[in-house]
Chain A
Amino acid sequence: MQIQLKPSEGSSLEAGYRTASGSERNNDSTFECLEICFRINICTNVESLSRSLPLAVLYRVERIKMSTSVERFDEQARLKADRVGRDVVHRGELLRHPVFTRVLHWLVAIAFVLSLFSGFALYSPWLFRFLTPVFGGGAMTRFLHPWFGLFFDIFFLFQFLNWLTPMWWAETDTRWLKRIKQYTTNEDKIEPADVGFFNGGQKLYFWTIVLSGVLFLLTGLLMWFDHLVGRWVIAVSYVIHDLAALLMLAGFIVHIYEGTAAMPGTFHAMTNGTVTEKWAWTHHPAWYRAVTGRDPREAYERERRRQAERERAIENFEREQDAREGARGSATDDRALQNRER
């Protein structure tokens, strides 16, 4: 892995995924709000891929093909987003998602939620009555649903290009999936050291969306332009469309839960774009190592020691305070006694 230190202006011109850290010099108080961008030229995940030659060739071909108009457009959008939006990284935080990624994520999310609920209205007779009025009646729901879906697919295409490299499947993700039981039962307080920017579960969800997105688009277009195809094509498309939706819904429920209630501090990554260093070494140790250059385990141990010291210091301080207050308390009691005597 090549890590290049660069000022933020230059790095956004380059293709590939960027991560940044504002915590390189935590001790330096003047360093707040400054960001350093790391450009990861070759992802570790991709390197492991190159072991199988045909896949590697295919990957290269795809990279070359993508470096055409779509990617140029994608780059321009990224540049504009960076110019308009801001990533403020406070002390003790790391930049996880730059502004372009965040905007894209929420565009995808809004389009998906609209598609989901308008789709649910058409999916089930039990939900039809509840959900169609929200979109302005049954006919309006029917009219809007394909457009919501189309926007979802367009926005997600950009997210796909944006995240293709960090989402590339690697051996570490297969190992992660094998430990899913320990993950869900919170047996592992800290993730294994090889968990990078995205863990296996996140990658699985990403590729589920890719698959569902393609299925949605294909079957959706067939149902949208139903007069062009036979009735059996529609009947089959309809089932595939539903299956893709159910598959994605399952991932969606888990995604929202993991992003909010299950992992405090994660939601911040999609609003302000930053996470705490603690969060990073707990949930994505390899990424922490990549952006800070420090060992996540050591950082954790150091923080634990510091916390213990802090606790001890507070306890000492409180004990002293109690003793001082006790002394003063007895003194005031004496004075009260003297007053009464007088």
Chain B
Amino acid sequence: MSNPQTFQIQEISAHPGPVPGQGTRREEEVCKYIDVTTCIGCKACEVACVEWNDHPFRETTFDDTYQTMPSTEWNYWNLIKFAEDERDGNLMWLMRKDQCMHCEDPGCLRACPADGAIIKYENGIVDFQQENCIGCGYCISGCPFDIPKFNEKTKKVYKCTLCSDRVGQGLEPACIKACPTGCLHFGTKSDMVQIAGSRAKQLREVSGFANAGVYDPSSIGGTHVIYTLHDINTPERYGLPRNPVIPPSYTYWKWLAKPTGLLMAGLGLLAVFFHRVSVGPKLPQPEDPPVVTEHADPVEAKRREQP
């Protein structure tokens, strides 16, 4: 398949004026935008996710909320989190669709030691390749959103793919297609940021949510799943970290200290080798045969003789 950019018309013979469509570029980065203010918690997206990814139905957990289970699972990638939140003496029922955030700087990918187990596409989707996964679970500790989940049986880690199989065929993710209220959107990153921003503005100006804003954390270079929240200052209420970070052990340590350590080990090997060559072994004393002369090298002796 050729790159669509290749057959973009560049010049036209005897054509007055600019070339139509000149300079148009296809935007590569995709994004899912979730407007939590219009989510009704119907869980259609959960069902769509399970259906499309052909996951078996699993037992739910009842813990006095509407939530299907406490957290996402290795075969349950999409979960609406229900939080009962009191604000100004009123109860607010916060519903947030939880799934992989497809970070611009993915902590799972930084932490992974296996070649090719986690890849990030140009369009921003972060995808796990289970055939290369070694099941060490480092990605779980690298993720600021607690998304990758370990399967005890296969010893592999799984998470939301942002329906990379559907997106690759020009379709929107399954959850987007299922949403009845239109709180889920899918498109290019810039479009989604724009829509999210205008919705936040509307919430601030019209609906009386003075702190409404867009959740697209810059500490990990932004995400390819963004939210509009009623109150951007307290993302914890929705179960989102205020300042998601990747542990420095997966960034600085891994990419700076580790090669340094390897280099030191290599230098250590060289050091002992050249110690043997130059200083020589420690022989049991007295050595036999005993040392006769200090410099028995005839070439060296001749060189010293010459003025």
> Taking beta carbons and an 8 Å cutoff, which residues of A are in contact with B?
122-129, 132, 137-139, 141-143, 184-186, 189-190, 223, 226-227, 231-232, 234-236, 238-239, 242, 246, 249-250, 253-254, 257, 261-265, 276, 278-279, 281-283, 300, 303-304, 307-308, 311
Contacts and interface: CB of A to CB of B under 8 A. Distances in A.
Decide if the interface of chain A is mainly helix, strand, loop or mixed.
helix
A190 B282 CA distance: 9
Contacts of A186: 279-280, 282
Contact of A304 (B114, B257, B286): B286
A304 B290 CA distance: 9
Contacts of B42: none
B265 A125 contact: no
Given A234-B141, A238-B141, A265-B284, 7 more contacts: A137-B134, A138-B134, A235-B142, A239-B253, A253-B272, A263-B281, A307-B288
A235 B246 CA distance: 9
B268 interface: yes
B250 to A, nearest CB: 7
Interface residues of B, number: 46
B284 A257 contact: no
A282 B268 contact: no
25 contacts: A126-B262, A128-B114, A138-B115, A139-B134, A139-B135, A142-B135, A223-B136, A226-B141, A231-B140, A234-B137, A234-B138, A235-B141, A235-B250, A238-B249, A238-B253, A239-B249, A253-B272, A257-B276, A261-B281, A262-B272, A262-B281, A278-B286, A282-B282, A282-B283, A311-B289
B165 to A, nearest CB: 24
A125 B253 contact: no
A261 B276 contact: yes
A3 to B, nearest CB: 24
Given A185-B279, A226-B141, A283-B282, A129 B268 contact: no
A246 B281 contact: no
Q: Which of A238, A246, A281, A308 has the most CB of B within 10 A?
A: A238
B275 interface: yes
Given A124-B259, A227-B150, A235-B141, A311 B290 contact: yes
B261 interface: yes
Contacts of A262: 272, 275-276, 281-282
A265 B283 CA distance: 8
Contacts of B250: 235
Contacts of B262: 123-124, 126-127
Nearest to A224: B137
A91 to B, nearest CB: 16
Interface string B98-136: 000000000000000111010000000000000011111
A282 B283 CA distance: 8
B286 A303 contact: yes
A61 to B, nearest CB: 37
A139 B283 contact: no
Contacts of B248: 235
Contacts of A239: 249, 253
A249 B286 contact: no
A142 B146 CA distance: 22
Contacts of A139: 133-135, 155
A250 B265 contact: yes
B258 interface: yes
A278 B280 CA distance: 18
